[in-house]
Structure 1
């Protein structure tokens, strides 16, 4: 471009009477050159990689058409995936890696690695691990291994080996049976293993409890017990026993009627207690069921709005920070009393899948690539959603856009 500019200027200056024209043309071409250079700078100069190079996805990441945050999003990448990259570029403060034709990922969620695989060597170990969030069981230590089972919250297992992969510690709980630390934690209690330990012995107690968020009523003290009713926010009940399970205190508010501290707190005021008659039964009317569902949806959206501005932290499940699935887990559990699981893989199966044309407020939006879900958010109506977007950003309201279009929705509350 600069050589062309100098050639034009030289030719123009041959004739003195064209000097003014030269001045104008030079200014125009210089401006054009600056604009052209600016475009290149914004997009990032690409540098070809001479040898086989690999990049590993550390956080769920967007794939963009060109190496800049202004480019169209054309897909998403799951944590732990490894790709070959052929070019690099620098833009927006990130190094960008080209992993395919018109497919770039930023260093905000990825880093170079020397290996093309994500496999890891297991180390003999022994101990117990407890399932903190509904989790997939996999045939090996890594997200690339097939899912061969599901593990319930509260279950305790003996592990015989550990391994590192995809940013998690993996625990071997049986032959070809592994669980990640994303949903499990080392357990030092005395509970027997290999079976769910969400049940617990109740202790006689008395007092009142107030429902802070719309909550499920269960037939026993634990999330493994069946839901036999729903409790409205603000209601006050007398409890006659307490128990501890799944990390919560459970209050018995009637025969086979329990509520968890996730949505209820002790009450010391003077208001009279209700009886647990707000539960859904076979004689409940369609109107009351619809009203209860609407109240839960409103509570979920209201709680999500209160989290706006809190930072994205990978693995965060509240109350001070969140990742995308952690935010969904938190608002549904604490506002509706529904445990949808702590990661996107479980959450996409927590309700009924709906098309994007049939979305209703309270549905969960999912983004997927090649059948793998990598992001979710809460739809609040009017083409908007609340999400914990990515590292460096905060929980916010966003608008559905063709540049980042969701794949499907899931209706949990209905």
Structure 2
């Protein structure tokens, strides 16, 4: 049995800035369009106006589009996961902060699919204002069990899929019922329970508690060699006759090199209503 402890949650985002190769984004034209968009940002503030939607662009000095203002656009262009709107010659705005007239977000989606946030009880999932937002700039969270409508899909610079369920509200697809990865038979996991507490070990999936009683604390890391699903709950085998409840673990192959986009039980800025 192999286990280790992370010193802090901060270590989980270490790898996000290591080995990340950001290539020049190549834009392609979306079907030519025109209409009206409204800025959705922070009351009293505005968003930048750019000279181009491409990666080597720069903001136009002295130009801001205030929250709540409406603007006509004459064209759109897709660059990476973002849609940009042309509001004038060489004047482009980031569609992540715009709402099309007559829609509830940056684009209308017919027959929007409904899903639920699926994560560890007592913890919360980060809400990203754009697919490319870095984890350290996430300040709002949504709790497990919340039902959302998938209004749009997108990908971040690493190719990971996200779902948009509201204006400037994106969540990682893997933290939803619709996008949850299949349960693995082997791999690495980390325990996430109440900080300062642990989860009990059982002799078999949903079986008797192992004697003498053993607990493993939050943030403890294990390699698991088997898994099973009992009445919808995943269980993971961490050693001979040692199984732990999968509802309180996160399974990944890069525990110390990939952030988990989560909020702890101490976070109170949760978006309960989706």
TM-score over 0.5 for the pair: no
TM-score after normalising by structure 2: 0.35
Greater Rg over alpha carbons, structure: 1
TM-score after normalising by structure 1: 0.25
